[in-house]
Structure 1
Amino acid sequence: MHSHAVELAQTFLTAILLVFFVGTLGGKLSEKLRIPDVVLFILIGMLLSPSVLDLVDIRSESTANQAILLFGASFILFHGGMITRLSVLKEVWRTITLLSTLGVVVTALVVAVAAVWIFDMSFMPALLLGSILASTDPAALVPIFQKFPVRRKVSQTVITESAFTDATGAIMATVVFSLLMTTGAAVEWGSIGLQFAQLALGGIVVGAIVGWIAAFLISENDRGLLREFAPMVIVITVLAAYLGAEWIHASGFMSVFVAGLMIGNAESFKLTILPKQEHAAHEFIDAVSLKLRMLIFILLGSQVDFSVLQDYGLQGLLVVLVFVFLARPITVLSCLLPDRRAKWKRNEILFLFWTRETGVIAAALVGIVGSSGLEDAKLMSAIAFVAILFTLLLQASTTPFVAKKLGLLEEQQVREKGHL
């Protein structure tokens, strides 16, 4: 006879086995259909959910689910940092700064006004909803740009935006949530500014330190003690960067992105990682990222509450349409047009209008709100999941097509130059 704990562990492992098996088939099918794999993963999750086939039932509030979300998003965002070039970021740093500050506020306010108008919500809960949706999703964006070679300037701007808006979106959501939970308390703008500096700058500092140490340990110098263990160093770096930042109450996601940026641009810091170690690291990251995407998005799909969607889904879709077709364009224009040095072209701006996936970060934030007992929490949950489903199923699946039509695929540009 097995103990109850062993039976729970076996049930969990059975669910993981099923996720990996069906997810692998879904990944193969996505290659045949030439669509991002996260789209099929979330559909598979909805099919396996307790509301349909009842084969996967891992609760969103469970420790196992939170660990998968946090490590998975961290690892994928670290990969985004590794494939981002500092030379490209130097061109667009003003845009990224605006998108991760002004952009978050603009998105949150537009969504809040729409929610107030459509649902007759109070403004502060509506603003909390807008803050939850303001962050873009690195777990969905990084694999899309890795598989489909969109112009570097554009793809790396979007990836970096997703890293930085995680911090600023989380700050705004945390502040609004705190105000809602402590009604009548005075707003201390000084403490809000301090909190932002701590989350953002703290994450950058921790990530830079951890990333430099990791790059040093696997570099070709005489003290590169762990050159032959590059994959294991990657795992340690992701965990150390995330947990180290969170320990000092900074942004763990920003920290892992910066750590990846340090390793991916080691040559800029007078460190040389040999091709053998670099190849081993990238092979390992590619393999692990695929498994983590399966886990994250199949579990996310399995946790969709169909009863809540049935109650609020249609009206929630109206809010999401405002979010996608009004809030995003206004945000992009207000942040890209002031940056004259980046020389943004019309096709690049149009692409950024459409590229705005929502996923893991929104799901995690709405999960926290849902467990608080806050009024309108179910409504926020429904709208957040409609946003996740809409942006992943519609926008993520059409991102390569839109990039091709706008002439932003690098392979396409090479072919066009060859015909001149």
Structure 2
Amino acid sequence: MHSHSVDIAVNFLRSMLIFLLTGTVGGKVAEKIRIPDVVLYILIGILLSPSCLGIIEMKADSPSYQVILLFGASFILFHGGMITHLDILKQVWRTIILLSTVGMIVTALVVSIAAVWVFHIPFLPALLLGAILASTDPAALVPIFNKFPVRHKVSQTVITESAFTDATGAIMTTVVFSLLMIGGGSIEWGSIGLQFVRLAIGGILVGSVIGWIAAFLISENDRGLLREFTPMVIVITVLAAYLVAERIHASGFMSVFVAGIMIGNAAWFKLTILPKQEHAAHDFIEALALKLRMLIFILLGSQVDFKVLQEYGLQSLLIVLIFMFVARPLTVLLCLLPDRKAKWQKNEVLFMFWTRETGVIAAALVGIVASSGLSEGKLMSAIVFVAILSTLLLQASTTPAVAKNLRLLEEEHSTTVKN
């Protein structure tokens, strides 16, 4: 006979087997029919949920669920940092800073005002929803730009913006969520600003130190003692960056993102990571990121409350349409036009209107919020679920066609220059 703890462990392993098996099949099907894999992951989660077949039930407040969300979000943010190129940042750093700060706040405010208007909820929970949706999705964008050669300046800006807004959006979510949990009746904007800065700066400092140490240990030098253990160093770095930052009450999400930047741009800091270690790091990260993305979206789908979705589905879609067609264009205009040195062209601006996918980080954040017992948690889950499906189906799947029509594919650009 098994003890209760062994039964829990066996059930968890069984769930993992089913998640990974069905997710792998779903990913293959998505590749065949050419739709974003996360859409099928969500549908698989719904199918496996207690509301449908009842094969899997992992409660949102369980430790297993929270571990998957926290580590998954941290690792994906780290990956976003690693693929952020400082050479590109030098050219468009003003745009990136504006998009990940002013733009993130504009998006959150537009969504929160819309949520108050549509659902008649208090402003602070609405602002929490806006902060969650302010995070974009590098996990959905990177595979698209790997397959389709969108103009390098544009693709790198979109990816870098996505990675930065994931971190800043997560910080804003943390700040607003903490205010809600302590029962803040009125909003003190000065307090929110100070807490945001403290979380961000603390996360940047911790991530910089831990990321540099990790890069040093796997680099080509006499003390690069852990070159042969590069994948393990990556995991340790993600865990250490998140946990140390949280320990000193800084942003763990910002910390792992900055640690990723340090390792991904080691040459900037006079460290040389050999091609063998670099390939090992990227292969490991891409493989693990796929599994974590799979788990997060299947888990998100398994938590969908059909009663809430049926009750608020159409209203949620209205919020998402405002998010896509009001908040995003307004954000892009406010953040790109002031950056004269970047010399943004009209077709590049229009393309960035359309590249605004919502995905892994928003799913992870809303999962954490929903598991807290917040009264608006299920409503937020329904809205985020609709946002993820809508943006991935409407935007991610049409991004290559939009880039082609706007003449932003590199082959077309090269041909135009030659002619």
TM-score of the superposition, structure 1-length normalised? 0.91
Q: 1:19 to 1:215 in 2, by over 3 A?
A: same
C-alpha contact 2:293 2:360 (8 A) present in aligned 1: no
Q: Give CA-to-partner distance per residue, 1:13-65, whole Å, 9 cap, x none.
A: 11211121121122222332333322222222222222222222222222112
Q: Tell me which amino acid in the other structure corresponds to 2:15.
A: A
Q: Which moved more, 1:313-322 or 1:353-362?
A: 353-362
C-alpha contact 1:73 1:139 (8 A) present in aligned 2: no
CA distance in 2, matches of 1:419, 1:220: 41
Residue aligning to 1:44? 44
Matches of residues 239-278 of structure 1 in structure 2 within 5 Å? 239-278=239-278
- Structure 1 residue 284: Cα displacement: 1.6
Matches of residues 148-159 of structure 1 in structure 2 within 5 Å? 148-159=148-159
Matches of residues 48-127 of structure 1 in structure 2 within 5 Å? 48-127=48-127
CA distance in 2, matches of 1:240, 1:336: 35
C-alpha contact 2:167 2:257 (8 A) present in aligned 1: no
Residue aligning to 2:3? 3
Q: Give CA-to-partner distance per residue, 1:301-324, whole Å, 9 cap, x none.
A: 222211110011111111111111
Q: Which moved more, 1:12-21 or 1:185-194?
A: 185-194
- Structure 1 residue 189: Cα displacement: 4.5
Residue aligning to 1:395? 395
Q: Which moved more, 1:352-361 or 1:329-338?
A: 352-361
Q: Give CA-to-partner distance per residue, 1:126-151, whole Å, 9 cap, x none.
A: 33322232222344334444444433
Q: Tell me which amino acid in the other structure corresponds to 2:274.
A: L
Q: 1:288 to 1:124 in 2, by over 3 A?
A: closer
Residue aligning to 2:304? 304
Q: Percent identity?
A: 75
C-alpha contact 1:129 1:380 (8 A) present in aligned 2: yes
CA distance in 1, matches of 2:76, 2:161: 14
C-alpha contact 1:171 1:195 (8 A) present in aligned 2: no
Q: Which moved more, 1:266-275 or 1:364-373?
A: 364-373
Q: 1:205 to 1:178 in 2, by over 3 A?
A: closer
Residue aligning to 1:341? 341
CA distance in 2, matches of 1:253, 1:205: 12
SS in 1 for 2:395: helix
Residue aligning to 2:12? 12
CA distance in 2, matches of 1:190, 1:148: 44
CA distance in 2, matches of 1:286, 1:413: 29
- Structure 1 residue 221: Cα displacement: 0.9
C-alpha contact 2:88 2:156 (8 A) present in aligned 1: yes
Residue aligning to 2:168? 168
CA distance in 2, matches of 1:148, 1:35: 15
CA distance in 2, matches of 1:331, 1:118: 21
CA distance in 2, matches of 1:346, 1:196: 33
SS in 2 for 1:273: coil
Q: Give CA-to-partner distance per residue, 1:95-119, whole Å, 9 cap, x none.
A: 1111122112211222222223323
SS in 2 for 1:101: helix
Q: Give CA-to-partner distance per residue, 1:274-332, whole Å, 9 cap, x none.
A: 11111222222222222222112222222221111001111111111111111111111
C-alpha contact 1:77 1:139 (8 A) present in aligned 2: no
CA distance in 2, matches of 1:225, 1:184: 49
C-alpha contact 1:99 1:335 (8 A) present in aligned 2: yes
Residue aligning to 2:327? 327
Q: Tell me which amino acid in the other structure corresponds to 1:27.
A: G
- Structure 1 residue 80: Cα displacement: 2.1
Q: 1:198 to 1:124 in 2, by over 3 A?
A: closer
| 1:230 partnered with 2:230 | yes
Q: Which moved more, 1:175-184 or 1:213-222?
A: 175-184
Q: Give CA-to-partner distance per residue, 1:243-302, whole Å, 9 cap, x none.
A: 222222222222222212211211111111111111222222222222222112222222
Q: 1:171 to 1:78 in 2, by over 3 A?
A: closer
C-alpha contact 2:132 2:366 (8 A) present in aligned 1: yes
Matches of residues 134-213 of structure 1 in structure 2 within 5 Å? 134-180=134-180, 187-213=187-213
CA distance in 2, matches of 1:224, 1:305: 50
Residue aligning to 2:21? 21
CA distance in 2, matches of 1:22, 1:392: 20
- Structure 1 residue 231: Cα displacement: 1.4
Q: Tell me which amino acid in the other structure corresponds to 1:217.
A: L
Q: Tell me which amino acid in the other structure corresponds to 1:38.
A: V
Gaps of 5+ in 2: none
CA distance in 1, matches of 2:142, 2:57: 27
CA distance in 2, matches of 1:39, 1:203: 32
Q: Tell me which amino acid in the other structure corresponds to 2:360.
A: V
Q: 1:173 to 1:254 in 2, by over 3 A?
A: closer
How many residues align? The count is: 419
Q: 1:25 to 1:109 in 2, by over 3 A?
A: same
C-alpha contact 2:78 2:260 (8 A) present in aligned 1: yes
Gaps of 5+ in 1: none
CA distance in 2, matches of 1:6, 1:186: 47
Q: 1:201 to 1:143 in 2, by over 3 A?
A: farther
Segments of 4+ moved more than 6 angstroms: none
CA distance in 1, matches of 2:299, 2:185: 38
CA distance in 1, matches of 2:418, 2:28: 33
Residue aligning to 1:294? 294
C-alpha contact 2:69 2:368 (8 A) present in aligned 1: no
- Structure 1 residue 196: Cα displacement: 1.6
Q: Which moved more, 1:296-305 or 1:395-404?
A: 395-404
Residue aligning to 2:282? 282
C-alpha contact 2:35 2:393 (8 A) present in aligned 1: no
Q: Tell me which amino acid in the other structure corresponds to 1:387.
A: A
- Structure 1 residue 88: Cα displacement: 0.2
CA distance in 1, matches of 2:79, 2:368: 26
